[in-house]
Structure 1
Amino acid sequence: MNNHYDVIVVGAGPAGIFTCYELTLKLPGANVLLIDKGHDIYISCN
């Protein structure tokens, strides 16, 4: 797990996602972390 990030974006709403997208285009080598308190996105098979 990487413990160093150049940019940390809090909030995975439209603005947060777009910010991360733009950062990856403008700073291709940067380590960007996007965090959100929402639920995980996965499908549970029971």
Structure 2
Amino acid sequence: MSTAKYDCIIVGTGPAGIFAAWELCNNSNLKILMLEKGRDINARYCHLA
């Protein structure tokens, strides 16, 4: 079993988690892991108001 190393782990990929990951990816060289127990991000949808 191998061990992966991450600089930042984001638990929850709701709007805040996704935005945090986006900002970290665009403004740093950190290795990021995102964890979510819900639906895959491609299976989500947002109703327009």
Instruction: Give the TM interval when normalised to the shorter protein.
Output: 0.7 to 0.9
Q: 5+ residue gaps in structure 1?
A: none
Runs of 4+ in structure 1 displaced over 6 angstroms? none
TM-score by length of 1: 0.73
> By how many angstroms is 1:41 displaced?
5.8
> By how many angstroms is 1:25 displaced?
1.2
Instruction: Report the count of equivalent residues.
Output: 41
2:11 counterpart residue number:
10
1:39 counterpart residue number:
39
Q: How does 1:19-38 map to 2 (within 5 A)?
A: 19-27=20-28, 29-38=29-38
Q: 5+ residue gaps in structure 2?
A: 43-49
Higher helix share: 2
TM-score by length of 2: 0.69
Alpha-carbon RMSD: 2.1
